[in-house]
A and B are shown apart, each in its own frame.
Chain A
Amino acid sequence: MPQLVTVKVNRPDRRPLRFWVPVLPVALLLFPVVVLVVLAAIVACLVFRIGVVRALGAGWRVISALPGARFDIEHCHTAVLVAIR
């Protein structure tokens, strides 16, 4: 499961912005929202006749596989980096 998401934004003539987002504390903070999202996903699975357990398992696999992903985009003098650890 992802532990830390790093976001860096470099803009011309401005101080670079850096955020380190700890995933677990934020997920705990947003727990009610997470529960609502899971419930909505379960309802969607039932409506479209998809196996709920399979769908939740596949979703969890996607989240678990996120560490190591890195997106680095630079254009002109602006750069955005998102790294998931």
Chain B
Amino acid sequence: MTEQRKDILDMLAAGKITAEEAEQLIAALERDQAPAVAGHDAKPKGKVKYLRVVVDATDNGEPSRVNVRVPLQLLRAGVRLAALVPPQALVKANASLSDSGVPIDLTQLKPEQLEALVEHLDDVTVEVDSPDATVRVFCE
């Protein structure tokens, strides 16, 4: 039992506060302590090494599972490789993407932005649930 919680219970026992006030105080105390505990348990930054993609699906009643683990270092290397793509190829890719209904201008995508994106991937968890499939993307 923490010191603050003991103080609250002492005050309640002494009749200085009501049971309702004690409950509110303890609830406030727990709210304050929760982020600290979560912060302690959180993954240390820079420790994640892999991007995991797990897909569980049912195809015509048959189960399918895809489990891919990609080192984040590989993503960073891929970003550097993608930075070498010549502008004329990007223009063609833009046109193809536009035709496919994905109007993204790849020439505006800078390697630094992609690297920053990879750097912050450890905070990302994507979960998609549908009746036929479950997709989870996370870092570990």
Q: Interface of A with B (CB < 8 Å)?
A: 48-51, 54-55, 58-59, 61-62, 64-76
Contacts and interface: CB of A to CB of B under 8 A. Distances in A.
A74 B65 contact: yes
A71 B73 CA distance: 16
Interface in B31-64: 49-50, 59, 62-64
B80 A68 contact: no
B84 A68 contact: no
B64 A67 contact: no
Contact of B77 (A61, A68, A76): A61
Contacts, number: 66
Contacts of A64: 73, 77
Interface residues on B, range: 20 to 34
A75 B59 contact: yes
Contacts of A73: 65-67
Contacts of B86: 48-50
B74 interface: yes
Contact of B81 (A48, A62, A74, A76): A62
Contacts of B63: 74, 76
Given A58-B81, A62-B78, A68 B50 contact: yes
A72 B77 contact: no
Contacts of A61: 76-77, 80-81
A-B pairs, 7 with minimum CB distance:
A61-B77, A65-B73, A65-B74, A72-B67, A70-B69, A58-B81, A68-B71
A61 B83 CA distance: 13
Contacts of A50: 84, 86
